[in-house]
A and B are shown apart, each in its own frame.
Chain A
Amino acid sequence: MASERMTVARAMVKVLEAEGIKTVFGYPGAAICPFYDELINSQIRHVLVRHEANGGHAANGYARMTRKPAVAIATSGPGATNLITAIATAYMDSIPMVIITGQVSSEQIGRDVFQEADITGSAEPFVKHSYLVKNPDEVPVIFKNAFYIAGSGRPGPVLIDMPFDIQKAQIDFEYPETVDIRSYKPSVQGNKLQIKRAIAAIEKSKKPLICAGGGIFTAGAENLLCEFMHIADIPVVNTMMGMSSVPADDDLFYGMIGMHGVKSANYAINNCDLLILLGARVGDRAVTAISRLEGATVIHIDVDPAEIGKNLAATIPVVGDVKNILGEMIKLAKNYDHYDWKQELSEIRKTQDKPLSPSQDGFVNPKAFIRTLSAKLPENVVVSADVGQNQIWTCNNIRLKSGRFITSGGMGTMGYSIPAAIGAKAASPTSEVIAICGDGSFQMQFMELATMIQHGIAVKVIVMTNNRLGMVREVQTNAYDNRLTAVFLDGSPDFIKLADSYGIPARRVTDIADADSAINDMLSCDGCYLLEVRVAENEKTIL
């Protein structure tokens, strides 16, 4: 391919096209205008969000569906710093993203000029890598490397800071076809000997358990996981990031582990004699429930060697892509039988599904509501849960047989669910996409209702309202002798009227008896919809 003379701004657009980018999420400003002025000439769809962080979360949701790096754009200074929370959220959950920020002109950098911020410096702890572009001729290679780094190995956000003058510079543009970064060669294959050792350990085990994390999605290993667990007859639990990696109605599935997990899952992890961690980093909220694991053999399979042994000592570490390794393990595994162990776990699973307490007058039991919703969800639904009580109620009561569950697992970022749902819907327009949040988190993100309307991205929003920051209220009740402070959301608007002002149909449910018809209304609506579910202030997450 011959090179072509053009501005860097035009080359940036060409790069995005070459990378197969169909949709980008952004918010312009003066320092990124040269790029925007070229984006007009492209077929790439630009979704204008209402806050830069939400552009980042939308790219996050988009990337989770496409499993390829998604693009978020902001201008210099406050535009860029507003993105930091979204960058950190993506970093913690290993989401591939390329973030492009405008920067003041090269000769002005370091002089504290208008809308100048050292974004590569300030985002450094939260990026997989970053570039502050100084030489316009390096732009093609930098972008090529950025997309490769973001999407390979353990994925993550890569930031490219583009000074104004660099965007306007002329270069001979030719997009490189290959990548060669001598200092970055992620191992993906998995050591054959370690895989054999893992299989030998599984063969000896009487009570094996698989714990599936978010790495299953990164690797695209859901089908192989199901195949492997059935061949080897091994029960499965998941972390919050691993939710929906195994169909919830599979008999080998025993729920989510951790501080907010279910009894069967935590019992399983505490009583197994062999634990296979698959793409899970054993985060503190996931392992607080592990108390007796010391005697068990731990097989830790992860693409990031730094995660192995960081939070939990591994007996058999296997570094590589979970999909490749599961493929190898399937070849070696035999049909084991763990009937007694499964019976032991199934007994616990049976007892934990206690009937729920009835809804209080004028309110809806949120757990009962999620179960009703769960039963009605169509194939390939995407459920985007926010952070707070709503997240835990959703995790523990939703049963996805197919589709995808997404949430901000590592960072616990409030205000994630709606923009992430917008991104997911933009990537999978034929899927039903539902965001579930509380009245606290809703008020951090409801400006994005306008984005949904403007761009025709039909997301369904469920807001669980209790006029409280419920999770903090629960902490204060349990750990601070019920001294409640700064958790009251008085002054909140009428959410039905608010939805109406955006032209979004909405309905409020105050009685569990109406849940069924309200959910039907929501699911049968073609466009956006808002469903408010009134929840009593004293509802708990702890089972």
Chain B
Amino acid sequence: MKHTISILVENHAGVLARVAGLFARRGFNIDSLAVGVTEDEKISRITIIADGTAYTLEQIEKQLNKLIDVIKVRHLPSEELLSRELVLIKVACQPSQRAELISLAEIAKAKISDITVNTMTLELSDSVPRIKNFEELLRPYGIKETVRTGSIAMQKGGASMKL
């Protein structure tokens, strides 16, 4: 089962290596990982999507809490989750296909980020299933390159993850 785990860490060099190393050596599987600074520049937030049983999830949380640089760990329940991933997709696009692709982008709420004589680069920020769906829609045109950020997530509602 997939779990979304948010981790607040000290914004030091080497912290990401400690977190990633912990997952590797204890055999926890990471599906996606994203890291960035928070509203407090001394704190970074790591979002990890991990696969595992309830036992694995409990161990992940406990072992992460043992890392000295980890300030807080929270498992975000899927029903209360606001989750987004950013994707850039470069597709083959002849001038005659532009109108078609622009209307696809409009339906998906994607942006046209770059355009050349025979390519178009689209940008979409959305949930993972919708990104996958968008990618499928573009596939017939010929995807030349895809880059994804990994999911970031936040709990819905007024509560926030504070120290």
B68 engages A181 (CB within 8 Å)? yes
**Contacting pair B17 A124 (CB below 8 A):** yes
A183 and B17 contact, CB distance less than 8 A: no
B residues near A121, Cβ cutoff 8 Å: 17
Interface size class of B (residues with CB under 8 A): 20 to 34
Q: A120-B14, A124-B21, A125-B25 are in contact. Are A183 and B63 (CB under 8 A)?
A: no
Chain B contacts of A129 at CB under 8 A?
68
In residues 142-200 of chain A, which contact B (Cβ within 8 Å)? 149, 181-184
Give the chain B neighbours of A184 by CB distance below 8 A: 68
Contacts of A304 in B (CB 8 A): 66
B59 at the interface (CB under 8 A from A): yes
Q: Please, which residue of chain B has its CB at the minimum distance from the CB of A156?
A: B66
Q: Does B10 have its Cβ within 8 Å of any Cβ on chain A?
A: yes
Residues of A within 8 A of B25 (CB): 125
Are the CB atoms of B71 and A182 closer together than 8 Å? yes
Q: Counting CB contacts under 8 A, is A323 at the interface?
A: no
The smallest C-beta distance from A502 to any residue of chain B, in angstroms, reads 41
Q: Check B14–A183 contact: CB distance below 8 A.
A: no
Taking a contact as CB atoms closer than 8 A, the residue among B10, B17, B62 that contacts A306 in the complex is: B62
Q: How far is the CA of A305 from the CA of B9 in the complex (A)?
A: 20
Known: A132-B14, A183-B71. A306 touches B66 (CB 8 A): yes
Assess whether B29 is interfacial by the CB under 8 Å rule. no
**Contact (Cβ within 8 A) A306 B63:** yes
- Interface residue tally of chain A, by bracket? 10 to 19
The complex places the Cα of A121 from the Cα of B14 at a distance, in Å, of: 9
Is A306 a contact partner of B59 (Cβ separation < 8 A)?
yes
B117 at the interface (CB under 8 A from A): no
CA distance A124 to B14 in the complex (A): 10
Interface residues of B in 69-120 (CB under 8 A from A): 69-72
A474 to chain B, nearest CB (A): 30
A310 in the interface, Cβ–Cβ < 8 Å? yes
A310 to B26, CA, bound (A): 12
In the complex, what distance in Å separates the CA atom of A197 from the CA atom of B78? 33
Q: Which residue of A149, A182, A305 is within 8 Å of B65 (Cβ)?
A: A305
Per-residue contact bits, chain A 179-223, to B (CB 8 Å; 1 contact, 0 not): 001111000000000000000000000000000000000000000
Q: Which residue of B lies closest to A128 (CB)?
A: B68
Contacts of B13 in A (CB 8 A): 134
Q: Report if B147 contacts A (CB, 8 A).
A: no
CA A182 to CA B72, docked complex, whole Å? 10
- Which A-chain residue is minimally distant from B21 (CB atoms)? A124
Q: Mark A306-347, 1 if CB is under 8 A from B, else 0.
A: 100110000000000000000000000000000000000000
A182-B71, A183-B69, A184-B68 known; A310 vs B21 contact (CB < 8 Å): no
Do residues A305 and B62 form an inter-chain contact, with CB atoms below 8 A?
Answer: yes
Candidate in B9, B18, B63, B72 with the most chain A CB atoms within 10 angstroms: B18
| Residues in B whose Cβ lies below 8 Å from that of A181 | 68
> At the interface, yes or no: B58 with Cβ under 8 Å from chain A?
yes
Q: A305-B65, A306-B65, A309-B58 are in contact. List 4 more A-B contacts (CB 8 A).
A: A124-B18, A125-B25, A181-B68, A183-B10
